[in-house]
Amino acid sequence: MKRLLLALAIALFPFTAGAVEPDEMLEDAALEARAREISKELRCVVCQNQDIDSSNAGVARDLRLLVRERLLAGDSDAEVIEYIRARYGDYVLLKPPLELSTYALWFAPVGFILIGLLTGFVVLSRNRKPEVVSALNEDDEKTVSEFLRNSDAGDAP
């Protein structure tokens, strides 16, 4: 059991490590910590939904270097994020701002859930209504009687 857990830990270890290369790291620990926090708020524009801090893509590396460059230039965290947002748009932010242009991002999932619930309610309520059965008219009764007589006659040897 211990070997299985060790093998699992070794197999999952690469997923816990960040993608920041040693040559990217800043010498100042405080600036490096700020850079890591900012990098966790920025999306890799190549990857689906991964922050640049954990992405191995070349664009993510370039963005990490750009973040560190802006920090060394003396920009605040907000200025660094705004600089990158100005170049790449709101898509680069993992948490886009609540603005008119991003309403679809924020409210579309809730809208789809509500539409699904409403559709399910309508479908289920239609299936619960009892079906009204009307009495047979004379022609239908004759047809059924003939069918039953023919089927009884066909079964007898």
Residue 97 maps to a domain:
no
CA 140 to chain centre: 56
Structure-block tokens of residue 31: 């600036």
Total tally of structural domains belonging to the chain: 2
Residue 46 CB neighbours (<10 A): 13
**What pLDDT is recorded for position 157?**
45
**Cβ–Cβ < 8 Å for 47, 57:** yes
17 lies in the same domain as 70: yes
Q: How far apart are CA 122 and CA 98, in angstroms?
A: 32
39 lies in the same domain as 108: no
Three-class secondary structure of residue 140 per DSSP:
helix
Domain that holds residue 25: 1-92
**What pLDDT is recorded for position 20?**
66
**What pLDDT is recorded for position 29?**
83
**What pLDDT is recorded for position 12?**
53
- Regions of the chain short of the pLDDT cut 70: 2, 4-23, 129, 152-157
Check the CA dihedral 119-122-125-127 and report its sign: negative
88 lies in the same domain as 142: no
6 lies in the same domain as 57: yes
Q: pTM of the entire structure?
A: 0.56
Last residue of a domain, one of 41, 71, 92: 92
- In terms of Cβ atoms closer than 10 Å to its own Cβ (0-12, 13-18, 19+), residue 70 is buried
Residue 11 maps to a domain:
yes
CATH code (residue 4)? 1.10.8.640
